[in-house]
Structure 1
Amino acid sequence: MNTESQTQSKSLKDIPFSILDLATVTEGSDIRTALQNSLDIAKLADEVGYNRFWLAEHHNMPGIASSATSVVIGHIAGGTKRIRVGSGGVMLPNHAPLVIAEQFGTLESLFPGRIDLGLGRAPGSDQLTSRALRRGPGSDGQDFPQRLEELQNYFHPTSSSSMQVHAYPGRDLDIPIWLLGSSGFSAELAGRKGLPFSFASHFAPDYLLPALDIYRSSFRPSEVLDKPYAMVALNAFVADTDEEAHYLSTSHKKQFLNMIRGRFGLMQPPVKELDWNMQEKAIVQNQLSYSVIGSKDSVREQLERFLAQTGADEFMMTTPIYDHQARLHSIKLLGELMNK
Structure 2
Amino acid sequence: MKLSVLDQSPLLLGMTPQDALQQTTELARWTEELGYHRFWVSEHHSTNSLAGSSPEILATHLAGQTKNIRIGTGGILLPHYSSYKVAEAFRVLETLYPGRIDLGVGRAPGGINNVNLALNRGKLPNTEEYPAQVNDLMGYLHGEDPKQMGIHASPRGKTAPPIWMLGSSGTSARVAADMGVSYSFAHFINGYGGTRAMQRYQSYFKGSIQQTKPLGNVSIFAVCAETEAHAEYLASSLDLAILKIEQGGIRHYFPTPEEATNYSYTMYEKQRIQENRRRMIVGSPDQVKKQIETLANYYEVDEVIVNTIVSPFEERMRSYQLIADAFQL
Q: Which residue of the other structure, out of 10, 19, 22, is the alignment partner of 1:24?
A: 10
Give 1:139 shift: 1.4
Do the aligned partners of 1:20 and 1:316 also contact (CA within 8 Å) in 2? yes
Do the aligned partners of 2:221 and 2:307 also contact (CA within 8 Å) in 1? yes
Q: Which residue of the other structure, out of 240, 261, 267, is the alignment partner of 2:254?
A: 267
Do the aligned partners of 1:93 and 1:135 also contact (CA within 8 Å) in 2? no
Alignment partners' CA distance in 1, 2:65 and 2:209: 31
Partner in structure 2 of residue 190 of structure 1: 176
Give 1:161 shift: 4.8
Compared CA separation, residues 221 and 99, structure 1 to 2 (3 A): closer
Partner in structure 1 of residue 327 of structure 2: 338
Q: Per-residue displacement from partner, 1:108-154 (whole Å, max 9, x unpaired)?
A: 11112111000001123400111111256451311100111111121
SS of residue in 1 equivalent to 2:327: coil
Q: Per-residue displacement from partner, 1:173-206 (whole Å, max 9, x unpaired)?
A: 4111111101111101111222110001112111
Partner in structure 1 of residue 35 of structure 2: 49
Partner in structure 2 of residue 320 of structure 1: 309
Q: Per-residue displacement from partner, 1:216-262 (whole Å, max 9, x unpaired)?
A: 11112334333322101111101111011111111211111111221
For structure 1, the residue ranges without an aligned partner over 5 or more in a row are: 1-14
Give 1:314 shift: 0.8
Partner in structure 1 of residue 294 of structure 2: 305
Alignment partners' CA distance in 2, 1:220 and 1:133: 32
SS of residue in 2 equivalent to 1:116: strand
Alignment partners' CA distance in 1, 2:107 and 2:157: 23
SS of residue in 2 equivalent to 1:143: helix
Q: Per-residue displacement from partner, 1:33-82 (whole Å, max 9, x unpaired)?
A: 11110111111111111000000111011111110111111111111111
Q: Which amino acid aligns with 1:296?
A: P
Do the aligned partners of 1:101 and 1:170 also contact (CA within 8 Å) in 2? no
For structure 2, the residue ranges without an aligned partner over 5 or more in a row are: none
Identity of aligned residues (%): 34
Partner in structure 1 of residue 221 of structure 2: 235
Structure 1 segments (4+ residues) deviating >6 Å: none
Alignment partners' CA distance in 1, 2:256 and 2:278: 21
With normalisation by structure 2, the TM-score equals 0.93
165-174 or 19-28, which deviates more: 165-174
1:98 and 2:117 aligned: no
300-309 or 133-142, which deviates more: 133-142
Structure richer in helix, relative to its length = 2
Partner in structure 2 of residue 5 of structure 1: none
Q: Which amino acid aligns with 2:174?
A: E
Compared CA separation, residues 125 and 171, structure 1 to 2 (3 A): farther
Do the aligned partners of 1:94 and 1:130 also contact (CA within 8 Å) in 2? yes
Do the aligned partners of 2:139 and 2:145 also contact (CA within 8 Å) in 1? no
SS of residue in 1 equivalent to 2:326: coil
Do the aligned partners of 1:203 and 1:288 also contact (CA within 8 Å) in 2? no
With normalisation by structure 1, the TM-score equals 0.90
Compared CA separation, residues 55 and 39, structure 1 to 2 (3 A): same
62-71 or 152-161, which deviates more: 152-161
113-122 or 159-168, which deviates more: 159-168
CA RMSD of aligned residues (A): 1.9
Give 1:164 shift: 2.4
Alignment partners' CA distance in 2, 1:209 and 1:103: 33
